[in-house]
Amino acid sequence: MSSHEYHERLWEGVAAGLEPSALDLRLQFLLGHVATGDRALDVGCGEGRFAAELARRGVQVVGIDVAEEPLRRARALHAGLDLRLVQAEGTWPLADSSFDVVWAGEVIEHVADTAGWLSQVRRVLRSGGTLLLSTPAHGRLQRLRLGISQRAFAAHFDPLGEHLRFYTRDTLTRLLEEFGFEQVDVRGAGGPSWAPGVLLARAVRSRF
């Protein structure tokens, strides 16, 4: 099965119109870091919920995804959005330094080639541009719960699950710094430390 077929099959199993997880929390974070007239890229845009909100705020937004099914749904829901299919691996067909902001909501945990993916994010961001992303959190007490409960561990790290990577605040911070981002700010949100939550990250593309 090709990578494209894999992602299409995943989306075939997702009910249309399903509300993104932690929608209000992540939307508030995103909209708090963009301005009217910004050029923004929504990576893994899905059905276009975040891209549509950006467009309503006067942001020039492009949405990309690795599967055609979510883009088909997004076009039906949000006519006029600039939505494009890209390959899961390799170079995105987007110009260097063409965006002020890159938003990736609940995407990085699904990426097999993290180094290649972050290299593309960095390439399309202008010098001094902002990366905003969210990913499931793994706080200290949650990690403890997973460590002492065989059932919780098996469910969370299901070998057939769609999540390929698992991040803590420290590991995500270090990863972004290693790929040439500065002013990295990663914080947990969405619930007590023992419960599933979300990491919200903001980082600036270094100017060299």
The tens digit of pLDDT for each residue in 71-116 reads: 999 999 999 999 999 998 899 999 999 999 999 999 999 899 999 9
Q: Does domain 3-205 have CATH number 3.40.50.150?
A: yes
Is the CB of residue 63 less than 8 Å from the CB of residue 42? yes
**Domain locations along the chain:** 3-205
Predicted TM-score (pTM) of the model is 0.89
Give the 3-state secondary structure of residue 40. Answer: strand
Number of neighbours of residue 91 by Cβ within 10 angstroms = 12
Q: Indicate the range of 8-12, 148-152, 159-163, 173-177 predicted with least confidence.
A: 159-163
**Is residue 41 over pLDDT 80?**
yes
